[in-house]
Structure 1
Amino acid sequence: MERRSFVQGAGLAGVLAAGTAPAIVHAQANLRWRLTSGFPKALDTIYGAAESFARKVKEMTGGKFEISVHAAGELVPMPGLVDAVQNGTVEMGHTAPYYYFGKNDAFALGCAVPFGLNSRQMTAWMYDGNGLKLMREFYSGYGFTSFPMGNTGAQMGGWYRKEIKTVADMKGLKFRVGGFAGKVTARLGTVSQNIPGGEIYQALEKGTIDAAEWVGPYDDLKLGFYMVAPIYHYPGWWEGGPQLDLYVNQKAFDSLSAEYKAIVESAAAFAHTEMQAKYDARNPAALKTLVSKKARLVAFPKPVLDAAYKEAMALYSEVSASNPVFKKIYTDMASFRREANLWFRFTEARFDSYMQSVKL
């Protein structure tokens, strides 16, 4: 049996179990690649996904394929990540695609848009819907391919000096919000600003901004926002299931053997699952700690959510009218969302609602 046929027929797990993997790996060349992250090392869950990926690649290749992981700014600044991967300055990048919507709004669809998909729906759209296919078609114009590699799950709505009680409270609010979401909050009257994570605390403390969103309890606790803006609103309606991506320079990826390509894909899938598992496991304790430190959990009023939803849908129609790539991808995502929400309404949502109402 030919080696490749055997690998495809048995799958990676079967190959490893059969003890044939070393022979396959040993046939490959030694490789040393570099991966630039869009995040600082201090954020062990997000930055750590790239480290887990690199570790798995090394393990599955018997140390023959090593990938060094570099924090944002070490090799290239975060805003330059896409250009660095595109130009082959580095072979790989790990980031939140919506950071680059300035290049094309379609980047946001590979991560999260307001009132988009939750994390499970995003993974389903990517792997069993058209999401990955459509995003890869789009990314091919930038000279790289992509693999889902992490999701935070639904995020919190951020930290505020004053409670948001009505839509009017959004007007004039100097709000640090990442990615595409700022386009929607701006339509509600905010003065949206995209400040790097490491600079948010100082901006809140000095009053340069009035509010800021980041991720959720585990990461937010580390950054200490509760000390300068105690109102913790939820949910982060602009990030129901933000996915991170592994970008791989297309020429570099094409140069890999079939076995190494499969290993990259498998390692990314492992890191994808592990990252959300870490958030789901660590956020509960972090939330309790924040509450003990006098953080005030406050839900966004429904009228605020309704107004934001209306503006988001209007924005998508406007962008679709002038951006055919965005329209193609968003139309498919919206169709998937509609069907997925119909299913979740009768199962996940009802089950979760009941379980969260009982005293365990």
Structure 2
Amino acid sequence: MAERVAPEDLAAALEPIVQQRIPGAQNAKIVDWKRTERGFSTETYLFNLEGAEHESAGYVFRRPPEVSLFPDYDLRRQYLVSERLATTDLPVPSVQWIDADDNPLGTPYYVMDRIGNAEAPSDFPSYHTAGNYFEADEQGRAKMWWECVETMAQVHLLDPEELRLGFLAMPKFGDKPVEQIVNYLDWAVRWAAPELPPVMEKALTWLKGNLYEPEHVTLVWGDARMSNILYTPELSVAGVLDWEMAYLGDHEADLAWVLFLDWACSEYEGHPTLPGTPTREETIARYEELTGWKVQNLLFNEVLGAVLLSVPLLRLSTHLNLGDNVSISGFCMARLEQLLGEA
């Protein structure tokens, strides 16, 4: 494959490919090219076309990062998930094409449609302190939260077999889904960091000692949170994003992820959740109502979630040589200490 094209040269290198690939764009020019602040595990850019025959809300270009944050990063997996979910009622962006073979850009990449006039809640700073969730009134915040929970439940009620998502299973890590994700994480965190914090070793041991068989094996979004949903100005769901971490497993992992990240965005940062934000108990009850399934293994999946998010953060810390004085994964370790104290 050709050498990886530098970020500043990407638009010019992509333009002739777009002219060939997108109908009616033979004479179009790429304009408004900019890198997004979101999607730290995949390099993502937004762009528009000037001079195309058909109007569009724009496009999104994605390629692997220079430094992979997961040991098994595969752009094709997220592309295939998006492609197959396009046949459902989930509002996923339409994918245009993927080029995973030798190409002039020097890496695999794919292009998808952009969803216009919609915005995701803020990640950094927290949506409890900035962005459209912060700016909404109490009723609006409740609407955004519940639509996130409803979207997550919708994902879990899909039939992975019917959607041909079997490639998301991890048979080399065990015979059963929960065993597979735990063994995968044991491997991934050790790849990410040469020395693990003691609480991480304790968490992995605890997870292995508390394996179970879930009643329902579903598509797990893997990164279920409001910040991966695009909301319209009326605060309805316009798009569901980011399937890099999707796998087949216990659906409760996504519910635990939402609750864990909300804790990190509020209590851990030292401020309360905003008025209108439903409580943990209300969220669990609503999720049970939407799915018809009793939540039974939330503690396990909250521990699992804190370990999972530690993988890219530990990898980033190691790669950037941040040392012991700077810990971008500190909130994961703090949550593990709390959760294991309750176990």
Q: TM-score range by the shorter chain?
A: under 0.3
| TM-score, structure 2 normalization | 0.27
Which protein has the bigger helix share?
1
| TM-score, structure 1 normalization | 0.26
Structure with max Cα Rg? 1
